[in-house]
Amino acid sequence: MLGRIFIAYLENVITADELKRLWQAIHVAFMGDLLKFLDAKELPTESQESWMELLVPSGLVRVIGGKTIDEVGEIYYEVTPIGNKLRNAYSQVVTE
């Protein structure tokens, strides 16, 4: 995974700062959760998936609260901009 991210950097898909942030996020996250994150076809804007909760410490996902009166007290998760960068960089690199 780190190799694919590095190739994305070499191909100017991500910047040097983004590369460092992504390496740190990958280091913090559990690989199984990362693979679910990367393999998901489409990530919902508001999710209650348990594996997304576990990615919060990595910075790839953030916590958001309910936005309507019916959702008061509900906790959802959404992908952060750096999380989207990881998904984009990972999918851009073709492996042979």
CA distance between the termini of the chain: 14
pLDDT one-digit tens code per residue, 59-86: 999 998 766 666 667 888 999 999 999 9
Mean pLDDT of 22-33: 94
What's the total number of domains in the chain?
1
Q: Which residues contact 82 (CB under 8 A, 6 or more apart)?
A: 18, 21, 22, 25, 59, 60
CA atoms of 76 and 44, how far apart (whole Å): 10
- Compute the mean pLDDT over every residue in the chain, rounded to the nearest whole number: 87
The whole domain housing 51 covers: 2-92
Average pLDDT over residues 29-49: 84
Query: What is the rounded CA–CA span in Å between residue 77 and residue 68?
Result: 16
pTM of the model: 0.81
- Of 24-28, 40-44, 61-65, 75-79, the poorest mean pLDDT is in 40-44
Token pair of 71, please?
């959702």
